[in-house]
Amino acid sequence: MIRTESVTKRYGPILAVDGVDLDVREGDRYGLLGPNGSGKTTLVRMLLGLVFATSGRIEVLDRPVPRRVKEVLPQVGALVEGPAGYPHLSGRANLKLFDAAGPGGPRRTRRRRVDEALERVGLGGIDARPLKAYSLGMRQRLGLAAALLRTPRLLILDEPTNGLDPRGMREIRDLLAELNAAGTTVFLSSHLLFEVEQLCTRIGIVDRGRLVLQEELDALRAPTGLVVVQSPDAGRAAALLDGRVERREADRLVVRHTDSAALNALLVGEGLRVAEIGPERRSLEQIVLDVTTTSSDRVA
């Protein structure tokens, strides 16, 4: 669905994107992660033909971009850097204008498609208030509605849950999973690790313009070969397991052991209380921290 080869983007002396090789497959829920200023939005804009690459090759839906981007856009829904629109018009009027100006939207079905898109993103009861009176969360929902007007094969989203409260984030996450199950490939960039971990099946991590990791999320979060034990008797457990405890954090122990059940039996047999036990898996936060450098917006 998306493939790039050695894509680079320079702004004068600034190297914003540095030789990126993306591979987004049909059916993926792909999350692009990285610190602020790492090149995520620039890369997304190049995929849509909004910014031209300095060098390299981009293919979206098996078409070269930007050369044949007009063939691609009717099959792509996009939300990049927040929704645009006419501030004095209502959300519904903005969607109708957006649809009229876009490629391939049948006029006879416009009203129905606008109403359906608004309903899907939780704006079905929208009134006639102008866009300038919308909250940031409402603007994000409206932008996603615009991306859904033509039942896209591919969704390209930049920070789609920006400005939403926890319930709104959950609703959008469920909607994207539903669209994916119906056949839409989802590609989103985000700095919200929890959202990506909950939704995405594959991830790419960019750091200072370079793609430093691209892999299935399940493979990255496979068991490490260690066992995590949480116990109110952590001190006694650590003494019993002397030499096998990799690290201790309060009542949590990380232990070198091959079998959680056998370890649990050992501890319980010694009269120790075990609140939780299981194989250790790396969190997405730890994976990102392991492959990225200091935040690009930090000033030492």
CA dist., res. 17 & res. 38, Å (int): 8
The whole-chain average pLDDT of the chain stands at 90
Specify the CATH architecture of the domain 224-281.
Answer: 2-Layer Sandwich (3.30)
Does residue 41 contact residue 232 with C-beta atoms inside 8 Å?
A: no
- Angle between helix axes 110-120 and 91-101 (nearest 10 degrees) is 130
Classify burial at 77, counting beta carbons within 10 Å of its beta carbon; exposed 0-12, middle 13-18, buried 19 or more.
buried
* Residue 212 pLDDT grade (very low, low, confident, very high; cuts 50, 70, 90): very high
Inter-residue contact 29 to 186 (CB < 8 Å): yes
Task: Identify the pLDDT of residue 294.
Answer: 59
- What is d(CA 164, CA 141) in angstroms, rounded to the nearest whole number? 9
The arithmetic mean of pLDDT across residues 194-213, rounded, is 94
CA–CA separation, 109 and 210 (whole Å): 43
Instruction: Fill in the DSSP letter of residue 147.
Output: H
Residue 220: the pLDDT is 92
Residues of the chain by 3-state class (helix, strand, coil), percent to 5 = 35, 30, 35
Averaged pLDDT, 157-170: 88
Average pLDDT over residues 144-171: 89
Model confidence over 226-272: pLDDT tens digits?
A: 999 999 999 999 999 988 999 999 999 999 998 999 999 999 999 99
As a whole-number percent, the residues of the chain with pLDDT over 70 amount to 95
Tell me what the mean pLDDT of segment 55-62 comes to: 97
Q: Can you name the CATH fold of 2-220?
A: Rossmann fold (3.40.50)
Note the pLDDT of residue 299: 42
* Portions of the chain given CATH number 3.30.70: 224-281
Q: What is the pLDDT of residue 67?
A: 95
**Residue 37: pLDDT band with limits 50, 70, 90:** confident
- Tokens at residue 149, please? 């007007």
Which band of pLDDT confidence, cut at 50, 70 and 90, is reported for residue 300?
Answer: very low
What digits encode the pLDDT tens for the residues 182-195? Answer: 999 999 998 889 88
**26, pLDDT greater than 70:** yes
Render the burial of 224-242: b for 16+ CB within 10 Å, e for the rest.
Answer: eebbbbbbebbeebbeebe
Q: How far is CA 117 from CA 58, 125, 223, in A?
A: 29, 12, 41
**pLDDT tens column, 99-145:** 887 665 678 888 888 999 999 898 988 888 999 998 888 888 898 99
In three-state secondary structure terms, 101 is helix
Q: Using pLDDT thresholds of 50, 70 and 90, give the confidence band for residue 296.
A: low
Q: What residue spans in the chain does CATH classification 3.40.50.300 cover?
A: 2-220
CA angle, 138 as apex, 137 and 141 as ends, to 5°?
A: 90
245-249 sheet: strands from edge to edge: 245-249, 252-256, 223-230, 276-281
